[in-house]
Structures are given as structure tokens and as C-alpha cells.
Amino acid sequence: MKISFTLNYKPITIDVPPKTVLLDVLRDELGLTGSKPGCEIGSCGSCKVIIDGEAQNSCTIAADRLEGTTILTIEGLSAPDGKPNDLQQSFLEHGAVQCGYCIPGMVMAGEELLANNPFPSRLEIRQAISGNLCRCTGYVQIVDAIEATARNRAQAKEGS
């Protein structure tokens, strides 16, 4: 089955077996292993990517629904030279990373939130990442990281 979509700002056409889910397309066909399997039923958020502006669990998205979509994965978030973006940097500064396995999905959930709600409250941040399980951090420093990024982006906007 041939499908065409935009992945991390680049158009792409690939041939995938039928009934393939996006997570497998990314990991097995394209070698993008930043999105992680954690449950394969959409319960943990480790495989979250942004499809047409909406954060989705890629383990539950059938490849045949991808035609014409625009997809952003963790690999597309950092600068081309490998520098982390401001949200990723904020995760580092706030000690929000322990084992790291849930982090790509967390960052994508955070990005979606900040794109749609530039001034989220802490409760709104907690709601936005409530579909992303983390077993190491207790979430607090992750919420801190997203909150600080929102503040910094707002200030940067004001200043510009």
C-alpha cells in the first residue's frame, strides 16, 4: 500500500504492508525510533506524535489514514544541527528526565498544548499530559518544564 504524507517538514511516499500502524511505519520502515512502544493500545503515550496539529498515539493510527497528513515526530522537533528546542532544553533544566523512555511522547504532548494554549495553567498542563504515563518522575518536574517554556515563549513574543 503506497501512502504519501509530510513527515518532519519533508514530503514522503512509502510502500507499507496493509494494517500497519504509524508507530511501526516510523520505527521499522523509516528507522525513526524516537517514538516508543509502551502498550500498543494507546494507553501510555510513549509513541505520541503530532498529526495535523493534534497529538496522537501512533500505535493506534492505521497507516491508511495518513494519506495527505502532516506529521511531526520527536526527530523533527530539534534544530537540524541537533540542538534541542526550548521545550526540550527546559526538560533538561528542570530535571524532568530520568530513564527517558516516556520523554519523546511527553515532549510531543507538551508541544501540542503550547501550540493550542500558549498560557496554560498547571492543571491544564497536567490534563494535557494525562495520557502520557511516566513511571520515574511523578510528573512534577515535567509540568515545571512545560510551564517555564510557556512563560518564556510568551515573554519572547512580547519582546519581539
Partner 1 sequence: MNNTLQHVGNPNVQAVDGLDKVLGRTKYVGDMVLDGMLHVKLLLSPLPHALISQINTEPALNVPGVKAVITSADFPDNGAFGWPIKDDFVLAHQKVRYVGEPVAAVAAETEKAAAKGVRAIRLELEKLPIVSDPAHALDADAPLIPLDPPQDSGNLCETLIVRNGNPEPILAECATVLDEIYYFQHQDHAYLEMEGALAIPEPDGGVTIFANDQSPHINRGNASAILGLAEDEVRIIQPPVGGSFGGKDDIVYQLTGITARLALMTKRPVRLLLTREESLKSSYKREAMQIGLTIGMDNEGKVRAGKAAILADSGAFASMTTLAAWRASMHALGTYRYEAAHVDTQVVYTNNGYSGAFRGFGNTQSAAASEIAIDELAYLADEDPIEFRLQNILQQDDKAFTGNTIEYESGLQKCLEWVRKQSDWSTKREDYPKSNLHSDLVQGIGVACYFHGSGLGGEGLDYARATLQVNQDHTITLQSGLTDYGQGSRTVFTLVAAETLGVSPGRIQMLRPDTHTALETGPTVASRASIVGGNATRVAAEKIKNMLQLAAADLLSCSTEQLFWEDETVIGPSEIPVSLEAVIDHAFAMGLQLSARGYWQLPEIHWDLATGSGVPYSTYSYGAQIADVTVNRQTGDVTVNKIWAAHDGGQIIYPNGAKGQLLGGIAQGLGYALTEGFSYKDSYPQKKNLNQYHIPTSLDVPEIESTFVETTFPIGPFGAKNLAEPVMIATTPAIANAVFHACGVRCRSFPISPAWLRDRLSDVTPS
- Which is closer to partner 1, CB of 11 or CB of 31? 31
Instruction: Write the binding mask 16 to 55 for partner 1: x where contact by CB under 8 A, - elsewhere.
Output: -----------x---x-xxxxxxxxx-xx-x---------
Q: Which of 38, 67, 42 is nearest to 57 (CA)?
A: 42
- Which is closer to partner 1, CB of 135 or CB of 151? 135
**Candidate list 129, 147, 149, 150; residue touching partner 1; CB under 8 A:** 129
C-alpha 38/C-alpha 50 separation (Å) is 17
The answer to whether residue 140 forms part of the interface with partner 1 (CB under 8 A) is yes
Provide the residue type at 102 as one letter: C
- The piece of 6-14, 62-70, 86-94, 112-120 that touches partner 1 (CB under 8 A) is 86-94
**Candidate list 93, 119, 151, 155; residue touching partner 1; CB under 8 A:** 93
- Which is closer to partner 1, CB of 61 or CB of 87? 87
The answer to whether residue 75 forms part of the interface with partner 1 (CB under 8 A) is yes
Maximum alpha-carbon separation in the chain: 50
The answer to whether residue 62 forms part of the interface with partner 1 (CB under 8 A) is no
* Rg of the chain, C-alpha, whole Å: 16
What values do phi and psi take at 4, rounded to 5?
-125, 135
Question: Can you tell me whether residue 61 is helix, strand or coil?
Answer: coil
Q: How many CB atoms lie within 10 A of CB 112?
A: 21
* Cα dihedral across residues 10, 13, 16, 21: positive or negative: positive
Give the residues lining the site for partner 1 (CB under 8 A). 27, 31, 33-41, 43-44, 46, 73-75, 77-78, 82, 84, 88-89, 91-104, 107, 125-127, 129-143
